[in-house]
Amino acid sequence: MASKFASLGFLVLSMAIISSAMAKEYSFASNLDPKVLRLKEEKLTHFHMYWHDVVGGTKPTSVAVLPGLSNSTLFGLVNMFDNPLTVGPDPKSQLVGKSQGLYASAAQQEIGLLMAMNFAFTYGKYNGSSITILGRNPILNTVREMPVVGGSGRFRFARGYAEARTHFFNATSLDAIVEYNIYVLHY
């Protein structure tokens, strides 16, 4: 009887050791000290710029890749864009980057867009870095708030929010200039 318990104990101990070894062997995540990635103190940065969505004319920066339903909300419309970002509302003001992404008309009862975009900076100390915004944009509201969900370069681990205000809209061409104030926490 004692040998049966000893055999069972040996078996349980062996399985525990094997399980422990396998868990370590197949581990795919580990905790890191932030200093390993040279992360310093987190800071808050405010950006103020203008987003130029040119839909009409001979050189559009935004094109429909999927037409919407022919209703008042254009539900289903999807546009891809590569829009200039400037320091002022004049399209000829200093270019600081591009906003690249898509917007889709995602609401059936109102004009509400799903925005998925990167603000890719090409000027100054943020050149080569980007901020990623993903969120709901009910464009008829005076102020719309969307989350900053990440970034790259100087904006690794970024989070925050963006406020959008329509500065100009042409109902015929559908061209728009939108003022953005973006508040980003980053390292």
Q: Cα–Cα distance between 51 and 175 in angstroms, integer? A: 11
Q: Cα–Cα distance between 177 and 85 in angstroms, integer? A: 10
Please tell me whether residue 12 adopts helix, strand or coil conformation. helix
Q: Cα–Cα distance between 58 and 157 in angstroms, integer? A: 39
Q: Cα–Cα distance between 169 and 145 in angstroms, integer? A: 19
User: pLDDT by residue for the chain (187 residues), tens digit each?
Assistant: 556 655 665 665 556 566 655 555 567 888 888 888 888 889 999 999 999 999 999 999 999 999 988 789 999 999 999 999 999 999 999 999 999 999 999 999 999 999 999 999 999 999 999 999 999 999 999 999 999 999 999 999 999 999 999 999 999 999 999 999 999 999 8
Domains and CATH numbers, the chain: 40-186 (2.40.480.10)
**Global confidence as pTM:** 0.82
85 near 49, Cβ under 8 Å?
yes
End-to-end CA distance of the chain: 64
